[in-house]
């Protein structure tokens, strides 16, 4: 199992990253919580990783913090949750909010992510409620994504669609988030958090 990777960030997109380690490019999938705190391409980076192996597939999943990786591993241990859905859950709910929802048995909050139905949310609470206490979740300042506001809004729509929301729903969430925030410029992480709050309310 590959536990971590250190190298140069050769490519980053909402679909996957490529980290160059001594001339070998590793394709890595990450949640949005990691993606929006990544440095610019060609920067050095270290990711905590999880290696997912099936008979016909080998995939790497990467996380900036061990806390994200630990939560990911707990999630995929729940019946009915595979790596893709676990990534979507971490993308749609901040780690602290996810732990709080699990500890409080808030199935409604958990089921706000596309792909997580009522029964899956209840299983998450049942199986993980007593396991999350050992995961420390320090607050970490985000790395602000640079770029024009149009680019940030386009990325946010694409991110929500990747999470499973319909385009019309994503556009409505963006519109309501902008109206609520009432500012002229946006940081992608703040805008995404507000859009997800709108969608879960």
pLDDT tens per residue across span 92-102: 888 888 888 89
Domain check: are 155 and 186 in the same one?
Answer: yes
pLDDT at 19: 97
Looking at the domain assignment, is residue 142 inside a domain? no
Residue % of the chain over a pLDDT of 90: 33
Is residue 184 over pLDDT 70? no
pLDDT tens per residue across span 99-112: 888 988 888 888 87
More confident residue, 163 or 105: 105
- How many other C-beta atoms lie within 10 A of the C-beta of residue 156? 24
Closest CA to 92 of 171, 165, 166: 165
pLDDT at 147: 55
Q: Which of 23, 47, 63 is the last residue of a domain?
A: 63
Question: What's the pTM?
Answer: 0.73
Domain check: are 59 and 100 in the same one?
Answer: no
Domain check: are 52 and 96 in the same one?
Answer: no
Q: How many distinct structural domains can be found in the chain?
A: 3
The torsion of the CA quartet 177, 179, 185, 188, rounded to 10 degrees, works out to 0
């Amino acid at each position: 199992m590959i536990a971590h990777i250190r190298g140069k960030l050769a490519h980053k997109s909402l679909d996957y990253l490529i980290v160059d380690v001594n001339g070998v490019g590793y394709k890595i999938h990450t949640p949005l919580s990691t993606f929006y705190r990544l440095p610019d391409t060609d920067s050095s980076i270290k990711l905590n990783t999880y290696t997912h192996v099936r008979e016909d597939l080998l995939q790497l999943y990467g996380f900036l913090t061990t806390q994200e990786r630990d939560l990911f591993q707990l999630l995929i241990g729940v019946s009915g949750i595979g790596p893709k859905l676990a990534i979507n859950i971490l993308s749609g709910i901040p780690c602290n909010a996810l732990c709080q929802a699990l500890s409080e048995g808030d199935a409604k909050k958990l089921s706000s992510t596309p792909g997580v139905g009522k029964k899956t949310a209840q299983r998450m609470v049942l199986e993980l409620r007593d396991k999350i206490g050992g995961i420390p979740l320090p607050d970490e300042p985000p790395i602000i994504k640079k770029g024009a506001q149009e680019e940030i809004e386009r990325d946010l729509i694409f991110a929500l669609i990747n999470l499973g929301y319909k385009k019309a729903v994503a556009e409505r969430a963006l519109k309501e988030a902008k109206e609520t925030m009432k500012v002229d410029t946006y940081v992608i992480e703040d805008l995404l958090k507000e859009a997800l709050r709108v969608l879960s309310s």
